[in-house]
Amino acid sequence: MSDAKVRLYVDQPLGAGQAVALTADQAHYLFAVMRLGAGDLVLLFNGRDGEWRAEVAASAKRGGTLACLAQTAPLQPPPDLWLLFAPIKKARTDFIVEKAVEMGAARILPVQTRFTNAERLRQDKLHAHAIEAAEQCGATFVPEVTDLQQLDRLLATWPADRRLMWGDEGLAGQTASLPDLPRGQPWAILIGPEGGFAETEKTRLRALPQIVPVSLGPRILRADTAAVAALTLWQLRYGDWA
């Protein structure tokens, strides 16, 4: 157990005795919002070096320094699972990114499909959401959030060894089941937009050798619910929940 009140992502190396310089935003959060001062403890992670206990060495209005004391957790990357989803309204897209981090996706790929109807996508904001989610849920790894990509282009160079679990609303009502395969293999999940997939996209997906179409139960789920349901199903069957 740690007596640190705050868990913070920093984009700097972490290690025994390492000094970590704070940005103005981080200093504001730690010293003005959380009211920390010299000697107070903080948990740090950077997505590479695990989690470290650090203490406030110096505090100022627009900066400060933390000193790393000891590692509290090793780096624990999630399983090799990508989440591909067609962005929807901003709040729901933010929700999908947040939940993907909590549920243990290793990479998050927003995809443009025929019926994707999204406002402009801010990759930097989605990355910041991923960091916040990792800070909250105790993760030591922050999944990459890629720029919006065309689904058909992504499928054209799809890795031969990565299975693609496709939430196929055409299977709604059938049993939600996944093939009997060992854990530890590369996978991705694909969730479509509110308007579903176009016929041409469905044909393209069905022809992909790596495709694994799945039902997500008897009801048609909203895309954000479907993303969480698919991540749950996959994690239980192949992931790190067991």
Return residues touching ligand SAM (CB under 6 A): 167-169, 171-172, 191-192, 194-197, 215-217, 219-223, 226
Asked if 109 and 158 count as a contact pair (C-beta separation under 8 A), the reply is no
Least Å from the CB of residue 52 to ligand SAM: 39
Least Å from the CB of residue 172 to ligand SAM: 3
| SS3 (DSSP) at 109 | strand
Least Å from the CB of residue 177 to ligand SAM: 12
End-to-end, the C-alpha distance of the chain in Å comes to 23
Q: Which is nearer to ligand SAM, 75 or 211 (CB)?
A: 211
Cα–Cα distance for residue pair 109/234, rounded to 1 Å: 17
Q: Which is nearer to ligand SAM, 79 or 192 (CB)?
A: 192
Cα–Cα distance for residue pair 173/154, rounded to 1 Å: 29
Q: Which is nearer to ligand SAM, 132 or 152 (CB)?
A: 152
Asked if 164 and 208 count as a contact pair (C-beta separation under 8 A), the reply is yes
Give the phi and the psi of residue 40 in degrees, each rounded to 5.
Answer: -70, 155
Least Å from the CB of residue 219 to ligand SAM: 6
Q: Which is nearer to ligand SAM, 49 or 168 (CB)?
A: 168
